Amino acid sequence: MRYLFFFVLLLNFSGKAQVMHCGYDFTSYIVLDVHEAGKKENIKSLKITIVDSLGRDVVNYRNIYSYRNADKPLAFTSNYRIDANNKPLAEGATTEKERWFFPFAKDNYLTSVSNTFPADKFMIKVEDIDGPENGGKFQTTTIPLYSYNMYVLCSNESQQAGIKFGRKMNKPIDIVLEKEAP
């Protein structure tokens, strides 16, 4: 009886010791590469939100779509550089050991969503609110969103290898903006 107790106890602890979790469990990201035709650099100071089929901002009511910013519209922010102490760098500043806060996103826009986010029901709306600072005002554009647009960061190599056809996962959505006519 005593040996059976130790055996069950050993199985119980050995199973819990091997559970590994990812820092991004239950979270995915949507990453956007927004630029002008023929240029590679991202356009700064854009207002980018997730909208429904009627063009209304999608509100993260009670964190149903994302674990951040409860009861606020789902909006994109620019990735930024940090220094060796994980502090944001000012625009144009450099340091010896600088890197992107989200290394998978580089110089792009991104937003965090839950893994259960129904991306196929929504669209992305891009608006230029600082026209002259961007070298001219860009046209507002709306593009559909798909579930394969989400960065699933806690997948293993066998899951990635299983995807042989179609669009590859974890690539930014390429959005090309056009300037408004003067």
Q: Is beta strand 77-78 parallel, antiparallel or unpaired with respect to 46-51?
A: unpaired
* pLDDT over threshold 70, residue 50: yes
Domain presence at residue 139: yes
Phi and psi torsions of 11, nearest 5°: -65, -40
Which distant-in-sequence residues (6+ apart) come within 8 Å of 123 by Cβ? 50, 51, 52, 53, 55, 142, 143, 144, 145
Greater confidence (152 vs 54) lies with: 54
Q: Does 12 fall in a domain?
A: no
Q: What CATH number is associated with residue 104?
A: 2.60.40
Report if residue 4 sits inside a domain.
no
Q: Is residue 44 part of a domain?
A: yes
Per the structure, how many domains does the chain have?
A: 1
Going from the C-alpha of 112 to that of each of 60, 102, 117, 152, the distances in angstroms are: 11, 11, 10, 11
Q: Residue 182 in 3-state DSSP?
A: coil
Tell me the average pLDDT across 132-142: 80
Asked if the structure places residue 13 within a domain, the reply is no
162: pLDDT strictly greater than 50: no
By C-alpha distance, which of 142, 105, 98, 103 is closest to 122?
142
Rounded to two decimals, the pTM is 0.75
Position 11 in a domain: no
Q: Would you say residue 2 lies in a domain? A: no
Domain that holds residue 122: 22-177
Res. 83: pLDDT tops 70:
yes
Can you give the pLDDT at residue 41? 87
